[in-house]
Structure 1
Amino acid sequence: MTSSLPHKSIGALAPFLLCMLACIQISFGQNNINTTAKAQSIFDEFTEYRHQNKIDKALEKLDEAAEIAEDSEDAKLLLDTYHQYARLFLEEGDRETAIFYWDRASILLKDISYSYGQAFHLYLDAALRFDEGNNFQSLKALEESRMLSNNRNLSNNILLLEAYIYTNIEKYEDAIKNLHALIVNSDDKERPYLATRANIQLAKISLGLGDLDEGIIHSKAALELAQKHGFAKQIRTANEQLSIIYEKTGSYDQSLFYIKALEKIKDSIFNIEKTKLEAKTADRIRFEHQMNEINKLTARNEELSESKNRSEITAILTSAFLTIISLLAVSLFRNNQIKLKTNDLLYTKNKELELARDSAVSAMEAKTNFLSTVTHELRTPLYAVTGLTHLLLEENPAEHQKEHLKSLKFSGEYLLNFINDILQINKIDADKLEPLSVEFKLHKVLTDVVDSLQQNANENKTKLILDYDPNIPQHLLGDPIKISQIFMNLVGNALKFTKNGKVEVIAKMLDKKEDQVKLYFEVKDNGIGISEDQQKNIFDSFEQGSIQINREYGGTGLGLTIVKSLLGIFGSTIHLESELGEGSSFFFELDLKCDADAQEEEVAFELNPEEFEFKGLHVLVVEDNKINQVITKKMLTKKEITCDIANNGNEAIDLAKTNTYDAILMDIHMPGISGEEATRQIRKFDQDIPIIALTAISLDDSLDSFYQAGCNDVVTKPFKPEVFYQKIGENIFRKKMEGSV
């Protein structure tokens, strides 16, 4: 019986104890709720004072919140308070004090789990980095902050800071997108304040982009909101913006109105006294907090000094250790700051280099297009010069006129060669040339070059010799036109500087493996030679060694540049050996493919220009230039060839449908449809008629495209009469002979 009494007593007390415990919990919970509500009320008042730029009152409210947090030992509330201190001081331009509070918050964050606090801490870190000019590190911190919390107010402030950063790095579309979102935000704490700042930033961007009307709209919207809610700093900024914008628009009366409003704000006694009071309050609170930290450290030091478990040597070593750690921390911090600034600088420099590269490319394209247009346009009047000169020489002029006409013809041909050289260099520089891979006979290519320059050799009383290795396969695959151009320039250059001497063209086979052959080429002369100093620059454009050489021998100085560039297309390099007074030797190697299984085929017939019977031929001349029409018609009449004239591509198609012609001479560049398109249309109903393209070929023109359109041959304007007649005869009579065979 006696043992059961205590159990009964405890059973009777249990409900009472439970009730007491529940009351304590409820009381503690209520205290927490009351503390949170009071703190929230203080933060709301702080936010209002901050918006109105009443810094002294805002700081006093934060001081109240800090006392509550310390009294209730609420680490999260204290962290939020430190964050607001840091933001406020940073907004007022006191970066040092802002960092002081940010560091204190960093210490608190180590011991608590608080996602919103961590997110806001990163937001402040981004603001500090933005303040020091590290835009891209700031963006990275904002992105991390956004991932930690979806708090609406924090998200809106992130949008605003992002807009400032995007403006700095000239991503105006992204900045404007963020700011428009803030104008219509639904923030429950800072809706009008965020909209005001967004309007001010939009006005700033509009002013920078030259959209003054848009700037006025946003500045006035910002001013209206700021005046309605008492946002003092934003009222001042909006007035400044409006005075500047109206001055730029020439509305000086409006500008003066806002300048006066601005001066009234700046000169008010209240504003001056307010600034002094805010500074005094800020200094007092900063001093109190810093003294509080010092007192804590002093108390801690006294506690350590009184400890009997610490020896003097341990204290000294600890102090030294802490000093070293502090120095290392400072060093690491500075290194990190330098690294961040260096990264931003590198990004900026990379952007500058990209802009410089784009500018250089644009300049190169402009130069290329300019040269292409100029060289193309010069050919049209040159056609008239050379054509009319030829016709006048054919009409038995007086002896005293012949000399002038021959000089005119020489000058025209010289200018034409110069234009052709410039166009060739321009095509190579613009990567418009690619080597062909067609079957050709190297021996014929070199023979044609030698034959065409034989007259030049005779005039200089110089022997021109071709030394050709018979072991070279007769059927090679490559680009005969470009190889011909290389030798025309090399041999022409050798003949120009060799009088009463000898020029040799050498072609030898070095190696042959299956369908690959390595060939050695050399053009050597015993002319004036090139000095060692001049050899360094001889392949540069417009370089002929000296002014004296240029005046004595003439020429453009582009021939060797073209040779070097053309060989570069083949993957080969030109080499030079020369000695003054002894002569020069230019040599290079080429790798070509050969057709080992090809059978030698003799041409069934050759067309001799003297055998062409032009009389009675009837052709169609398609040409839009009236002078060119007259010249071409007269040149045809000289050979007793009759012609019809088409002024454009459409006329050419109509005439070709309704008449029978022996050939069509087609100009490529014409208003309306081009010569290429006209050729395509004619080929739809006539596959056999020879069509010869006559064109002042430009940079963008491609011989391949002419042939693909259906042209049988191409003659470039201004053309030599003998070439003109040769092409007409070959294409007309070859067609007839092939038909008869």
Structure 2
Amino acid sequence: MSNAKLYIFAIFLGVSFILSAQNESDDSESLLLSMENAIVFAQFDADRGDYYNARAKLEKALTISEKLEDRESQGIIHSKIGRLHHTVREYDQALSSLTKASQIQREIGDYSNLAITYSIKGNLHLTLKEYQAALDYYNSAKNLFQENNLEPMSSGVSLNEAKIQYELKDYEKSKAYLDETIQLAKSYDQPLILSSALIYIGKILIETGDNALALEKVTEGIEIAETNDIIENLNEGYLTLSLIYQNKKDFKSAHDYLLKHVEISDSILNIERENLSPDQKTEYIDAYNQADYQELKTKLEEQESESSLAKITTILSIALISILSLLTLALYKNNNIRLKSNNMLHEKNDDLIEAMKRAEQASKTKANFLSTVTHELRTPLYAVTGLTNMLLDEEPSEKQIPHLKSLKFSGDYLLQFINDILQINKIEANKVELDPVLFNLKTKVESVCSALNNSALDNQVKVHFEYQKGLEHTFVGDNLKISQILINLIGNSIKFTKDGDIWVRVYSISKNNNDHIIRFEIEDNGIGISKEKQEHMFESFSQGSIQINRKYGGTGLGLSIVKGLIEILNGKIFLKSELGKGTTFFFEIPLTYAPETAKIEKEDYSKNIKALDISNIKILIVEDNKINQMITKKILSKMNLQCEVVDNGEDAVEKVRNHNYDVVLMDIHMPGISGLEATKQIRAFNKDLTIFALTAVTLEDKMQEFDEAGFNDIISKPFKQEDFEKKLFDELSSNKKTTASTQ
């Protein structure tokens, strides 16, 4: 927008503002218009750097919102005021305003604007170099953005997460966040964020020694900034180019770009000063970091000196190199063999060390990714499985029971499926364990077919099940892994078959006493697979073609997981297919027949709990998700346990400080301080309280962290009631808390 248009727009807003002020009365519509105009005009002031006038207008808008009792507007205005305080380096005031905003937004359930407040709060902690607190708020903001269909706003948060990892010198993690940022910025046409992300990619490449690629990325970021007149990014880009050319020993170019950076910094500072009153100018100048600015000036002077001496340095360097070359030549003849041997050893060692570093970093990256994905999937699954179990316990109608059981089956499968995705990654480390139980093979396969029948009907596909006549029904094996394999393969056939048939066959191909080799066949008459594609079907992220992937969906990970699961079960898989004529997958696994009477009864902990006196047991639930709060509270109520609920770590610490509880169920990922930090704070004044980590994170990678924080045990979400009863019984009986008194 041109300056002329901006001024016309400002005049228009000003006239509206004056007219509304002249007619202002107790009429709510008039007050509402005045408030909205004040907010818009404040934004205009803030955009041109007039921060203190902007704040004055926002404070007027806040007064009106309080008169109107408009809580949503109060939260938004407090958040905007907090952003302005942060901009002018009034950090305590910023924290106060943002805390007020988040409290209001949590109370009224305004999660869209709460996400924005958390993002600003993260920026504040980033400025203060309180990186973990910043990351916690950024994580909460991104979760809320996703839950409220505001994904475009996640790009700025990802960019700031990348900046934190850059400051922590975790360049791999920083680059991962930047890749995510670039993808989002391109998808939603966000040149400011895209430009900044490219420049930060360049900064990472400088640190890793790739100055050539760094120059390419930073230049691309600067071009976007120039096209869109993004002064701040040009400023950062020129400084980064200066560093690149300094590393390349091109002191003249380094000096030129540093000079451009300083000129833009001067320009930005002057513009901001012009928009302040005389008193405010003094306040702003005091707040401005003169030390950083002087450091730039000093650096510029040093580079000017380096540029002047460059020619002399080059001449002296040539002379020195010539002398050293003669000495090296003399030494070379006497030490040639020894040097060759040492070089070979060093090269091998360096290659090995570098390979180990890359492998370790790749492992960390994968672990972080899997931990994030696991948490994001387990949290909604907690709601699905919890609500399903509640509905099944509340005497549903006969027509509802099959649907609820199918939903429960699917939820249990999906949870186990998530767990086994993590297990697949441990196959090479031989850390995957089998869980053999006695189960009915025929019933299990029928259940899988039944659960997938609705999907088949949607594609006009009929599923036929054939079980070998005379084959025993009960076997000992890992039935959940078998279910996952079947669901994946049958689901795959349904996806690629229209108006056709699928045959699921189960039969024994060999028998030695009670030990069988069972073959499973899944045959369809769908689109089939070409010969060249069949060779790669069991590789990760592989499907028939890009076109097939787009048309039929999927990640291309399913068959890789199937192959891994079958290998865990000591089996093998192969396929037969012809393009246009369908596909048949075969897999064979060993199973041992056992009679039904061999089933081992599990200990009933619900009876054990009932045998204890739990009338005085008081439990605090710390959970920010409303649905999960309801489910957990209902599970505990069914067990006749008293419980209270808080939705954040800060309140949990205060509750425990001022009340007596026997058990705390502490969620890990929450707005503000995490469950880990809250537990550490509680342990500072209460060493004996039983605290369970109620979490959806990957437990294997977090055990040490949970132990150090002070948790007694871990309950993985979504949890089964019997699992919770076992751990609660063990803890209550061992600590003899069944007769505890409460306030």
Alignment TM-score > 0.5, same fold: no
Q: Report the TM-score, using the length of structure 1 for normalisation.
A: 0.38
TM-score by length of 2: 0.37
